[in-house]
Structure 1
Amino acid sequence: MENNNKIKWGIIGLGNIANQFAADLLLLEEAEIFAVASRDHDKAIEFAQKYNCPHAYNSYDALFNNDLVDIIYIATPHDSHAELSIKALEHGKNVLCEKPLALSYKDAVRMIDASKKNNKFFMEAFWTRFIPSIQDVLSKVNQGIIGDIKYVNADFAFYANETEGGRLFDKKLGGGALFDIGVYPLFLSYIMLGIPKEIIAKSIYHKNGIDLQTSMILQYENAQAVLHASIASESDMKATVSGTKGHLELNSPWYIADGYSIFKEQKEDNFSLPNLGKGYTHEAIECHNCIRNNQIESQLWSHKNSLDLSKMVEDIKNQIGLSFS
């Protein structure tokens, strides 16, 4: 980092999510969008101009070789996450990689290993973990405010029009409901209850083999979670965590909740916790803190957390017979 103490970001994969992330970075004084890269040079130049970025490249390698870049945000399609993350780490860059980490648990392990080998910060961009509502809810759950957790119910669903094209229906890019959005309800169950003893999953498939919708029951020693992901229908996208003394509901859409409610002893308490910007700011702040403290992983969303979630997703992938080859 230079003397101005700003952390210089590089961004590769300049689609919708990268645009939202970049817009949020502009809200942080300690962040600078320093370099962007796309195989389409015109797209890179346009993106750079939009966010007042001084460097636009037509190759990822050129960005990796920019010695002034502190951290690279990887927002390319799922199938390229592993190789690009590993390459960035080998070039001495810190990395924030979009979820899901990889299309296989084996690749997720390789990514974490590369972080450790090169002693560079690496984190899966599970932004929901860092928003104020989730942090506050998890704190209250850990304090036992609603008692022992017995049930988690969450879904993530929207209707995706196939005629619009894009990666959601592209098998080679890791399309489908499970890997794109199913990771969110699985994440919620994981942070509330941990790794389940058993997962039962069923899917409805597209003609090309991707899952259009997947429903999951997670069995724990003394609790259950019922989860759902779909790109074939809409839902209210609420999430409920139920305990022996009450329950809480995250505002819709729960994965970016601006607050939540606790229902206990016939009383409802509402909590408002707006996000800064869209909400990507909070994971970026965590990256900054970790880099400044010479940490190679976050304590809030650690390497082990990412690997645990990747293993759960892989178990479901195998159970429903999903393949991206």
Structure 2
Amino acid sequence: MQKNKTIKWGIIGLGNIAHKFANELQLVNGAELVAFASRSKENAETFANMYHCAKAYDSYEAIMKDDTVDILYIATPHNSHAELSLLALENNKHVLCEKPIALNYPDAEKMIAASKKHNKFFMEAFWTRFNPSFKATFENVKKGEIGQIHYINADFAFSAKGKNRNRLFDLKLGGGSLMDIGVYPLFLAYTLLGIPEKIHAQSIFHPSGVDAQTAMILQYSDAQAILYSGICHTSNMKATISGSEGRINIDTIWHMAESYTVVKNNTETKYSLPTNGMGYTYEIEECHQCIQNNMIESQLWSHQNSLDLIKIVDEVKKQIGLDFPV
């Protein structure tokens, strides 16, 4: 694709996150929102009117046939990520798919293979990887600012009580804390320490069958990560990375933080890195850069990164006994 050319987006799956993403698209130079798709014509038209978008489709298949759409953002429930991503790639669309990439490793493999087969950009939407505070934290760790990492602690929990009919409590839709938000702490540990040698996980389950809360310990040769997710209560939502020479605290809410603190030699140094919008803008810009450079994957969050992470998630699922209906 020609560099600096406007990249035209379509959005599939019109829930709360689609609203956020549509707003963020308007903050990115070279991005144009041209189409929405929902199984409800009324919902699609409501979004289109709200964001001054000309096209509203009442089927996902229809938007994929629209030749004006360069890339599709897939924001549907987790159980349809694989199916819709494959269909989009087969229709020669680039794809940004919400996390988790899929409900299991085999489906993720198929999605990556389709990206390669059709030579189309595909990325799992782990927007935290492109957050300025996280990128700075990662670089500080990489250059040895806090020495060798020995311990990571990260939690992510919020209360969704009273919303038992929504997707978070629906096993068929891939609900529960692990798939929706537990992937964030796992992402942090994986990005900084890689694939663990051992995983220990336990959960408490909701009557609907989804995990209401999950605790995980990732064991490495010289480090441990203690991670947690929950959807029936709140938590501090902070992250700490402790090394032999100091530690880094990523402030609340850590996966979208605008600041972090380095604690070293009894001195605390706080760094502020305000985001443009909520922070989705950075993953959008990454998509643009990759597409304009004819790349089918990001170097910051690659196909292999997504495969590694879903393999870790699969092991956690196995240990806690979480099984999604096919």
TM-score, normalised via structure 2 length: 0.98
Q: How does 1:198-237 map to 2 (within 5 A)?
A: 198-237=198-237
SS of the equivalent of 2:96 reads strand
Residues 131, 275 of structure 2: 8 Å contact kept: yes
Q: Which residue of 2 aligns with 1:281?
A: 281
Does the alignment pair 1:67 with 2:67? Answer: yes
Supply the distance in 2 between the matched residues of 1:40 and 1:2 (Cα, whole angstroms): 35
207-216 or 306-315, larger mean C-alpha shift: 207-216
Supply the distance in 1 between the matched residues of 2:62 and 2:2 (Cα, whole angstroms): 20
- Aligned residue identity for 1:293: N
Supply the distance in 2 between the matched residues of 1:2 and 1:146 (Cα, whole angstroms): 42
Q: Which runs of 5+ in 1 are unaligned?
A: none
Residues 247, 262 of structure 2: 8 Å contact kept: yes
TM-score, normalised via structure 1 length: 0.98
Deviations 1:201-243 (A, max 9, x none): 0000112221100000000011000000001211110000000
Q: Which residue of 2 aligns with 1:165?
A: 165
Supply the distance in 2 between the matched residues of 1:306 and 1:206 (Cα, whole angstroms): 27
Supply the distance in 2 between the matched residues of 1:180 and 1:96 (Cα, whole angstroms): 17
Give percent identity, aligned residues only: 58
Q: Which residue of 1 aligns with 2:322?
A: 322
Supply the distance in 1 between the matched residues of 2:272 and 2:3 (Cα, whole angstroms): 37
Supply the distance in 1 between the matched residues of 2:121 and 2:100 (Cα, whole angstroms): 17
Supply the distance in 2 between the matched residues of 1:269 and 1:75 (Cα, whole angstroms): 37
- Aligned residue identity for 1:267: T
Supply the distance in 2 between the matched residues of 1:257 and 1:191 (Cα, whole angstroms): 17
Deviation at 1:165, TM superposition (A): 2.3
SS of the equivalent of 2:180 reads helix
Q: Which residue of 2 aligns with 1:247?
A: 247
Supply the distance in 2 between the matched residues of 1:148 and 1:240 (Cα, whole angstroms): 14
SS of the equivalent of 1:260 reads strand
Q: How does 1:134-149 map to 2 (within 5 A)?
A: 134-149=134-149
Q: Which runs of 5+ in 2 are unaligned?
A: none
Q: Which residue of 1 aligns with 2:259?
A: 259
- Aligned residue identity for 1:296: I
Q: Which residue of 1 aligns with 2:53?
A: 53
Residues 3, 292 of structure 2: 8 Å contact kept: no
Q: Which residue of 2 aligns with 1:305?
A: 305
Deviation at 1:4, TM superposition (A): 8.1
SS of the equivalent of 1:276 reads coil
Root-mean-square deviation (CA), in Å? 1.2
Residues 149, 241 of structure 2: 8 Å contact kept: yes
Supply the distance in 2 between the matched residues of 1:131 and 1:4 (Cα, whole angstroms): 22
- Aligned residue identity for 1:298: S
Q: How does 1:76-115 map to 2 (within 5 A)?
A: 76-115=76-115
Deviations 1:42-95 (A, max 9, x none): 110110111111111111111100111110000000000000000000000000
The alignment covers a number of residue pairs equal to 325
Supply the distance in 2 between the matched residues of 1:270 and 1:3 (Cα, whole angstroms): 37
Deviation at 1:278, TM superposition (A): 0.8
SS of the equivalent of 2:195 reads coil
SS of the equivalent of 1:8 reads strand
Q: Which runs of 4+ in 1 moved over 3 A?
A: 1-4
Deviation at 1:29, TM superposition (A): 2.1
Deviation at 1:324, TM superposition (A): 1.4
Q: How does 1:30-41 map to 2 (within 5 A)?
A: 30-41=30-41
- Aligned residue identity for 1:23: N
Supply the distance in 2 between the matched residues of 1:292 and 1:163 (Cα, whole angstroms): 41
- Aligned residue identity for 2:94: N
Kindly tell me: are residues 148 and 63 of structure 1, through their superposed partners in 2, closer, same or farther at Cα, counting changes over 3 Å? Answer: same
Deviations 1:242-287 (A, max 9, x none): 0000001001000000010000001010000111101111000000
Q: Which residue of 2 aligns with 1:120?
A: 120
Kindly tell me: are residues 289 and 73 of structure 1, through their superposed partners in 2, closer, same or farther at Cα, counting changes over 3 Å? Answer: same
Supply the distance in 2 between the matched residues of 1:143 and 1:171 (Cα, whole angstroms): 42
Residues 4, 292 of structure 2: 8 Å contact kept: no
Supply the distance in 1 between the matched residues of 2:4 and 2:299 (Cα, whole angstroms): 27
SS of the equivalent of 1:263 reads strand
